[in-house]
Structure 1
Amino acid sequence: MTLNHAGGNRDMVRVDLSDWAAGHPLYDEKVIWKGKVYDKNEDRLYYNLYSIFAVQRSFPGTVKLESITLPQCTNMHIFAITLFKQLKK
């Protein structure tokens, strides 16, 4: 994905995501949901366990972030994006 900063600067951030049918994460994601899936188009319940993965990426908070450009990938589903400021320990 691309982080677009005020003033025109950009940072590229690599995001690798495993297929939701994978039994476990193939990259550095965390499993945040695992369960069975019902396909309403096929009126069918799939008994294998599927997963939703989460990935966390850091970027410097010193520059104002204007937008995020996501990769064009027709078979990738993004359920949520959360931006947060990590507090110093």
Structure 2
Amino acid sequence: MTAVFLFVILATTSKVGNGTMAGLAIGFTLVLIHLFAIPITGTSVNPARSFGPAVLAGGQALSQLWLFFAAPILGAIIGAILWKVTYTEAKEA
């Protein structure tokens, strides 16, 4: 989900994107991520938001906390690579 979110951010805020609609596109993507991911995985989009409840719950929640930090980092790397592969800047003549 982070890869999709980062890709949308990069696409809408780049020179080829529509900057006036960037906020709407980014916000709509975040809503879709919440609607899709929370019912399936119970995830939070913000890793810092996952830290507090896991520390208070302890046990299994605390042992799975590493995933809430590693997965977004990996997703961001994938999203950035996908953007670099698909984005072509116009060459100046």
State if a TM-score over 0.5 links the two structures: no
TM range (shorter): under 0.3
**TM-score normalized with structure 1 length:** 0.26
Bigger helix fraction: 2
Of structures 1 and 2, the one scoring higher in RCO (CA 8 A, sep 6+) is 2
